[in-house]
Amino acid sequence: MSSPTLNALVHTMRHEADGIISVELRPATPDVDFPPFEAGAHIDLHLPNGLVRSYSLCNPASDRQRYVVGILNDRKSRGGSRYVHEQLRVGKTLPISAPRNNFHLHEQAPRSVLVAGGIGITPIWCMLQRLVAIGRPVELLYCARTRKEAAFVAEIEALAQQHNVPVTWHFDDSAGAPPDLARLLAGRRADSHFYCCGPVPMLDAFERACEALNYPAAHIERFAAVAVEAPAATQSFVVECARSGNVVEVPPGKSILDSLLDAGLTPDHSCKEGVCGACETAVLEFDGELDHRDGILTKIERDSGRTMMICVSSCKGKRLVLDV
C-alpha cells in the first residue's frame, strides 16, 4: 500500500493567474507534523473523488508546517485539477503524502539557470526563493502563453528587484512565437546547472538546446511520463522478490506493481503513471533489458539498470529480481 499519509487542512485558496490557483495546506490537528522539504519536492493529494495527484511545492523550503501547491485547471484534466478548482474548499481536510523529490536542486552550483513554462513555475519558484535565500547566483527565464496565465509574477518581480536577480519574460502572444530556447540559453557558463519544468514540447526543446550548447548539467521535471510506443511483442516474465521470497508472474498487459499487489505484497506506490517516484524499486538482477516508461529517471540512471518505476516499467527478459 502507499506510504502513511498526513491529514492536512485546506487553509487558504488563492487566485494566482488565469486558470491557476494556489492551495495552502496546514496540519489538520495538533498531532500532525509536516516533514521538512527541499526545493523541487512535490506532494500527493489524495482527493475525495478517489484520485491521487502530485503537485510541486512552491513555498519557501524554510517554511515549517505549511505546504503550498499551485494547480492549473487543466483543459485535459482527468478529474484531479478539475476537482480541486470546482469542489475543494477552504476548511476541508484531505490526506497528503510526505514530500518526495525527483527534481533536486544543486545548491552549490557556480550558477543556476531556472526555466519555467506555464504551471511549471511551481517548483522553479521554490528553487528561486531558496537560491536567493542562501545567496547563490541564479537567473530565471519564465515563459507562458500570455502574461495573464503566468502565476506569481508580482512576487517574482519584487524578489528580483530586491536581490538583483536577472529575469527574462517570454509571452507567446506578445512575442508572436514560442520561446527559442537555444537562443535564450546561449552564452551561459558551461558549469552552470540548468533546470526546466513545463509542458512536454518545452522540455524536449530544452533538452535539445542544452545538448546543442554543450550544457551537461541539465535537469527536468515532467508532469507526465514520456509517451512511448508499446513494444511490438509482449510476454510474461517472473519477478523474484528478494526480501519477501515471493515469486510472481507478470502476464502481458499487466504492470509489475499490480501483479505484486494481487499477490498480496504491499510495495509503496501512488500515481501509477511513472511521475511521482513513490514506487521506485531497486533492481538486483534481470535477463534481457529493462523497459523504462517513467518520466523521472535520467538516461544514465536507466542505463545503469539499478532501479525502475514498477508502476509503468517492465522487463523484456524472462526473469527480474527486485528488492521487494
Q: Tell me the domain boundaries of the chain.
A: 6-96, 112-221, 237-322
In whole angstroms, how far apart are CA 18 and each of 22, 149, 156, 224? 12, 5, 17, 22
Cell readout for 52 is 491521487
Q: Nearest to residue 32, comparing CAs of 84, 101, 95?
A: 95
pLDDT exceeds 70 at position 281: yes
Q: What is the pLDDT of residue 296?
A: 85
Average pLDDT, the chain: 92
Range of weakest confidence among 26-30, 138-142, 268-272: 268-272
Query: pTM of the prediction?
Result: 0.84
How far is it, in rounded angstroms, from Cα 82 to Cα 73?
Answer: 6
Angle, nearest 10°, between helix axes 121-133 and 153-163? 20
Cell readout for 148 is 495573464
Q: What is the pLDDT of residue 232?
A: 41
In whole angstroms, how far apart are CA 7 and each of 23, 49, 70, 214, 245? 15, 16, 19, 45, 34
Residues 237-322, CATH architecture: Roll (3.10)
Residues 6-96, CATH architecture: Beta Barrel (2.40)
Q: What strand order describes the sheet that includes 167-171?
A: 167-171, 138-144, 112-117, 193-197, 218-221
Which CATH code fits 112-221? 3.40.50.80
How far is it, in rounded angstroms, from Cα 186 to Cα 213?
Answer: 7
Cell readout for 209 is 538546446
Element (H, E) at 223: none
Instruction: Give the mean model confidence (pLDDT) for residues 14-23.
Output: 97
Report pLDDT digits (tens) over 70-129.
999 987 777 889 999 999 999 999 999 999 999 999 999 999 999 999 999 999 999 999
Q: Looking at per-residue confidence, does 233 or 293 come out higher? A: 293
Report pLDDT digits (tens) over 168-213.
999 999 999 999 999 999 999 999 999 999 999 999 999 999 999 9
Element (H, E) at 165: none
